[in-house]
Structure 1
Amino acid sequence: MIHNGIEYHTYDELKPIAIQVLRQRILDKQTKYSRYIGDINKMDFNKQDIGIELKNLGYNKKRIMKDGIRKLYYYKS
């Protein structure tokens, strides 16, 4: 969605990108999950981990009201 000249994304759009980066960081042993022994593709990340990773990727959160409904969007700073 573009609002006031800024491109905004929803959490569901950015979740696969953040999960891919988290999995790569686990393989490079750069996260708190680096001692995980199981299959990385079956690992489930919680919303907090994904939000922190989006923040590390340079995305900021903003609540925008559209059609009377306030939703949370992410934009690249």
Structure 2
Amino acid sequence: MQELLGNSLQLVEFVLKTLHLFIKLNRDELINVLLITMLRKINFAELFFRTALLLLLSVFWNTLSNRLNNSYLIN
């Protein structure tokens, strides 16, 4: 149970760090975090989940940025 809780906390920490890096738009740090995470011994399901989450965040961020840019161009 403690191991599951520890993994959940690590996942939450990873998501928060990733969101923070997306907000800062510092892609070099984001790539470093991804590489360090992949180099750790984590199971495939967790790696897949994290990759899918990052992909969704990336799509969301790009969509939001495009909509904001388009709204400024229209006004």
Same fold (TM over 0.5): no
Higher helix share: 2
Pick 1 or 2: higher relative contact order, CA cutoff 8 A, min separation 6: 1
